[in-house]
Amino acid sequence: MKNVIKLGFAAILSMNILNAKAQSTDYGKNNSLLWEISGNGLTKPSYITGTFHILCSKDFEIKSKVLKALEKSESFVMEINYTDPAEMISLQKMFKNDKKISDQLSPGEAQELNTVLANYGTDLKSVDTSSPQALYALLSTKAIPCPKTEIKLYEMELLQKAIKERKSIKGLEKVEDQMKAINKAYDLKSTIAQLKMDKEYEIVFRQMIEAFKNENVQLLYSLFKDERFMNVQQEKAMLTDRNHNWVKIMPELMEKESSFFAVGGSHLMGDNGIIPLLIAKGYTVKPVSSL
């Protein structure tokens, strides 16, 4: 982002610091999934909304203010650009592994994993060539409280609307970047440990859905980083590092055109959340109740 300009440097700097402190104490109190980004040299406001990647149709709703913010924006920016064929090829590769899972485990561990996988409707033989990321994905798939035929993908719904409205489509990271983050956070052994907590995860998942529906982004963040499922190192890999990387990319996109960012709701809050990071860069970020 841009540095404070020369004229009245000391006064402007002190005002910015005060403004950042004021925002930092207030932003977490607001229940909103949609935030407007302005100031710091932007000629048009941009927007960021927190998403919930997978929902049941009975829980699914894209609020009118979110749709209106997308309409007002010139580009639609997702975590990954799913319209890029190269990214789709990478995504397919992400779920395969050259080394079999069974070759990385002792016979006893393999048998234990096979028992755990039965709770997910599969077995080790069926997933033996899968990556840890694919195993980790089983958690959320099982936790969804509805049949697969009733599943809605939040970002995909927004993407379809953006394509229909002829927005330019962009991504904040590559599939490869996301793979590295997940690999850093959850190796095979820690992924198996997560799979063993399926009942606990299902309870938290339902709580996260309710927090999302109520636009309680602070609670959503707190539930996502529950220490049972995410330690400090894992939070750094899954949230902190990615948030900092994204905030480096966002300014150029916003300066070029009004942008609508759609990222997982857990990325917005916390000391290293996107909202406080943007505020620290000098932007004005405020919750949107209606448009």
Chain mean pLDDT for the chain: 86
Sign of the four-CA dihedral 147, 196, 91, 221: positive
pLDDT tens digits along 27-46: 556 789 999 999 999 999 99
**Residue 222 confidence (pLDDT):** 92
103 by Cβ neighbours in 10 Å (0-12 / 13-18 / 19+) ranks as: exposed
What is the C-alpha separation between 118 and 115, in angstroms, rounded?
5
Q: What percent of the chain has pLDDT over 90?
A: 61
Burial 39-48 (b: 16+ CB within 10 A, else e): bbebeebbbb
Only one residue has tokens 């150029």, namely: 252
Question: In the predicted model, is pLDDT for residue 21 greater than 50?
Answer: no
Q: What are the structural domain ranges in the chain?
A: 9-96+131-287
Question: Rounded mean pLDDT of 234-261?
Answer: 96
Question: In the predicted model, is pLDDT for residue 216 greater than 90?
Answer: yes
**Residue 29 confidence (pLDDT):** 63
Any idea which of 113-122, 254-263, 268-277 has the lowest mean pLDDT?
113-122
Cβ neighbours around 59 below 10 Å, total: 17
**Residue 144 confidence (pLDDT):** 85
Whole-model pTM: value is 0.85
**Residue 272 confidence (pLDDT):** 95
Question: In the predicted model, is pLDDT for residue 14 greater than 80?
Answer: no
**Residue 184 confidence (pLDDT):** 87
Question: Rounded mean pLDDT of 239-257?
Answer: 96
**Residue 208 confidence (pLDDT):** 93
